[in-house]
A and B are shown apart, each in its own frame.
Chain A
């Protein structure tokens, strides 16, 4: 039996249209004052999150766009980082964006008090460079692939994502395991129940078919993930392979800047701490004969990994933004799995779970303490 409460919603006019109608209703009834949801940009070549007040704009909104142009958590954070305000907001995002939002709440970058988070089963998302080749065509391709649960055209990290239906927010739209022309409205919190109440939705239905389908898919993906990580490790494992993997990296730091959990105003690796006198660089060079300049490309990658992998949600924004086509997300996501597993932690799973870095437990990790203790 599941811990969620759910209702079956008939969607004769299609899932997306029905959800949009629901959202319009919430504005009408004053449940929400504004909704953060993707909309297609005027030029039609991308999508952007818009904080919508006027419900008429919802007609042009997209619940599940084919690209993740900006990580949703960044959009939500930009609205509530400095406080919650009086506006009651709902944010519609993919599960990994929701998880990043929860992580950001733990880091003081998002105020969730007046925010209701809505997610949906995610089929993956297209790499933005592919999408940009032909936006119109790719919207169609994406929608078709989503229907068939075909992830071969999605981001590499999406193809091995086993958390595509993870519920960390307040409301989740379950499309898997639903009958034709229907979906599940699933509530994960009091906030979710309140919304259902206001919409006249009775959360008493059986959602077992969703649970079962989700379980099956996530187990399949988990196997795929393990295999992919094993292969990736042989490719990038060891310092030589690692340096080679990042040989094209130009230190543009795009990956860091699009990452939702890289929140530092000034990255350590952009600060004066990595700016050394000329002779220091020359001395280093002399010890090797020649040295790439600027050096420490791999150090940046490792440093970033050390700082954020405990909170990495494997969304893949970094890989999309990489100007040199390095498989950053695949590598970071693989390491993040292991870092988080050390603490039995899944980033963004629950708001009341502290990020392990700031939670001291005396009885922990004894196996890596001094053997002589």
Chain B
């Protein structure tokens, strides 16, 4: 069939018309012999403009369409719809950007005109080799995978689960609850946490829309927003991994503590009665705070900021819980003397300061200090430190509680690789934007909440759980259809030699290997059309629809002729 290319130049109000000699452009472009028509129009994206285009396509019997106007980001979709409505496959169309890439940046009208001609010629050169492409539609899966059964994951699961939306909650340890189950009370309100957490766990276990996998780990995730394929392996089970599909993933794997043994000056692991904050919480929850010899301590030092210099960030929660610890101690051992050694005091928020002020007093002393070193002093512990003024000081106590920095969970790297999200410099998962998109990741549909994203307290964690739920509830609507990428990669069966180079470079897990044919195969639903495989394949067996070599080659040739 003969090619009939229609070229339409948009004046874009004064934007293009004033900067480019459109008549000259039309004159030059008309000389191509498969260009059936070249015309200009005031504003192609207006409803009149769109109607005009639709009529033109039908009237002229166009086989291909080139529009010279603004950026594809602005109106490529618009004109693709116009094509479709006119009965022309929307991919037999090319938009030449003569506004942002020409009129808006070229002062000299002559130069701008010349450049516009080149850009349009390039678009024509390319569109000649375009093929019709068909859109696909698949149903998006509204279900959600929540990784991590701590307070963050539990809250997100409860917010999300409904008869139309299943939640799969995967927890590595045998029990739900996470770190919070070790705390007797939460700071500020000093209310019992067990009741809260236990009732939430009860809710989870009785919710028939939440499937819980304990002692389990996520082994594989492949896919994209609306269509993830998940594999979960149960520990100590010979059976094959459990497979299911979800539309979205919430990563809530929590955190761990910096190991104070890395700083020998604190004597952790060597000296008796030097314990970490987590050990202290557990001790407190068990009912009795005591030294190794079983007696209650008469004096306790709580050292803040353990490992802060090494990690390079403030863990946000330690000062507050250290104040809480002082409360635990003074509540349970009335005559105890508590000393908090801190380098900086982090007590932001509307109520934290009051909590602090109500805690310090006769028996609770906050001391600004640095370079603490703990050594044995008979059956007590002697803490050498520099005070505010830099003078050397000394404190003798029975027990030392260390508040170590909060670190990413031990599995963070493994999970990052399995899910395909990135970690920041500190090892916590990287959010899309720390200020305006703090729980999204660069992969659509995957959210990071709780301490997995950054150290934080319970209320902030719950906020993020609800935020993730909100995002998912509004974007992953049951019954909604999603259109996977049209411009996907294809690997020629005849030409593929099975070297797997493309497989190694695919970031989306969209390429699998057919062992019987010894060739690589692209999953077109999962492929995002990034082109890594095409670049990697030495023979050119892999190619991307709509970005074929000939299309690009001719576009470039025409542009540089």
Contact = CB atoms under 8 A, between A and B. Distances in A.
Q: A contacts B directly in the complex (CB < 8 Å)? A: yes
Interface residues of A, number: 21
A65 B553 CA distance: 48
B561 A272 contact: no
A108 B520 CA distance: 11
Nearest to A263: B497
Contacts of A276: 553
A278 interface: no
A81 interface: yes
B541 interface: yes
Interface string A59-85: 000000000000000000000011000
A109 B497 contact: yes
Binding site secondary structure of chain A: loop
A343 interface: no
Interface in B470-525: 494-501, 504-505, 518
Interface in A297-319: 307-308
Q: Assign chain B's interface to a size class.
A: 20 to 34
B518 A273 contact: no
Given A108-B518, A109-B499, A357-B501, A264 B549 contact: no
Nearest to A268: B540
A283 to B, nearest CB: 7
Contacts of B13: none
A273 B549 contact: yes
B499 A263 contact: yes
A108 B538 CA distance: 15
Contact of A107 (B496, B499, B536): B499
Given A273-B553, A358-B504, A358-B505, A266 B541 contact: yes
B500 A266 contact: no
B498 A109 contact: yes
A271 B539 contact: yes
B557 interface: yes
B294 to A, nearest CB: 51
A108 B536 CA distance: 15
A267 interface: yes
B541 A307 contact: no
B500 A108 contact: yes
Interface string A347-362: 0000000000110000
Contacts of B540: 266, 268, 271, 273
Given A271-B539, A280-B557, A264 B501 contact: no
Nearest to B549: A273
B550 interface: yes
Contacts of B496: 265
Interface string A255-279: 0000000011111100111001000
A107 B561 CA distance: 40
Contacts of B518: 81-82, 108
Given A82-B518, A280-B557, A283-B561, A265 B539 contact: yes
Given A271-B540, A307-B538, A358-B504, A264 B561 contact: no
A265 B494 contact: yes
A273 B498 CA distance: 21
A283 B554 CA distance: 13
Contact of B495 (A107, A109, A265): A265
A272 B550 contact: yes
B499 to A, nearest CB: 4
A61 to B, nearest CB: 30
A358 B538 CA distance: 12
Nearest to B499: A107
A267 B539 contact: yes
Contacts of A265: 494-497, 539, 541
Nearest to A266: B495
A108 B498 contact: yes
Nearest to B518: A82
A304 to B, nearest CB: 9
Which of B497, B536, B553 has the most CB atoms of chain A within a 10 A radius of its CB? B497
Interface in A74-117: 81-82, 107-109
A276 B550 CA distance: 9
Nearest to A104: B499
A246 to B, nearest CB: 20
B551 to A, nearest CB: 11
Contacts of A267: 539
Interface of B: 494-501, 504-505, 518, 536, 538-541, 549-550, 553, 557, 561
27 contacts: A81-B498, A81-B518, A82-B518, A108-B499, A108-B500, A109-B498, A109-B499, A264-B495, A264-B497, A264-B538, A264-B539, A265-B494, A265-B495, A265-B496, A265-B497, A265-B541, A266-B494, A266-B540, A267-B539, A268-B538, A268-B539, A271-B539, A273-B550, A283-B561, A357-B501, A358-B500, A358-B536
Given A82-B518, A268-B540, A307-B538, 13 more contacts: A81-B518, A107-B501, A109-B498, A109-B499, A263-B499, A267-B539, A271-B539, A272-B550, A273-B540, A273-B549, A283-B561, A357-B501, A358-B505
8 closest A-B pairs (Cβ-Cβ)?
A: A264-B539, A358-B504, A107-B499, A307-B538, A273-B549, A108-B498, A268-B540, A265-B495
